[in-house]
Each structure stands twice: as C-alpha cells, then as structure tokens.
Amino acid sequence: MKKVAVYSLIICLFSFPYAYFSISQDFNDSSMTGYLLMIIATTIIAFFGSLTNNTIAVFIGNIGSVIISFYFNSKMINIDSWDGYFKPIGSIRFLVVVSVVNLIPQLVAINFAKSLNKKRFETTGIHSNK
C-alpha cells in the first residue's frame, strides 16, 4: 500500500506541465526562472522516485507532464506573438527541446540514487523499497 501511495504521489507531482510553465514564464516575463524551477523540481522528484525504486513512475510522470504541456501550448498557439517569440523553431519544437534537455539532470539524479541504493544494500543488506 505504501509503495502504491509513493508511486501515485510521484505521478501526481509530475502532472504539472513543467515545460509549458517554463516557456510561459520566458514569454510573459522574459525570465529564465521557470526553466530553473523546472530543473530543480523535476530533478528532486526523479531522485526521490529512484531512491524509493519508483523509476517507472518517474518515466510515466514525465510523459504525462509533456502531454499536459502540449495541451496548454496548443491553447496558446493562436496568439501570433507566442509562436513568434520562439523563432526560428517555434513553440512546439522548443517545447520538445526543453522536455528532452530536462531529462538530462533527471537521469543524473536517477543514477545517483541508484548508486546510493546499491551502497546501502552492500553495507546493510537492506533494500530501500521495504
């Protein structure tokens, strides 16, 4: 039951459209803080997801976040300045680039958490999912 709750929590935390939020912050405020918040939040969630052996939930959550980001982006596509702001590639391709680049720190966090789990098992013999 506890594992299902953690699994569900990770997916729910990833349900936020991080990529859309980031490019929306960039568009509205000409600010990079949205990208920084996205990287920090998703990396922390990915780390704890992997630390609790819920890496599948991290991947499902990432897919959900991208789908929700595409939905919100499609609502903004009719605004001329929205797509023009992200020239030369446009908002859809930029959303894909941001989503893919966001995976890099998450993969680093996942690998780090797995190495911590491995060290914990070697020293104590206790799995982290108990």
Averaged confidence pLDDT in the chain:
90
Tell whether 112 is covered by a domain: yes
pLDDT greater than 70 at residue 87: yes
How much is the pLDDT for 127? Answer: 63
Q: How far apart are CA 11 and CA 49, in angstroms?
A: 10
Tell whether 87 is covered by a domain: yes
Amino acid present at 105: P
Task: DSSP for 59-89, please give it.
Answer: HHHHHHHHHHHHHHHHHHTTSHHHHHHTTTT
Tell whether 26 is covered by a domain: yes
* pTM of the predicted protein model: 0.87
How many domains are there within the chain?
Answer: 1
Tell whether 129 is covered by a domain: no
Percent of the chain with pLDDT over 90: 68
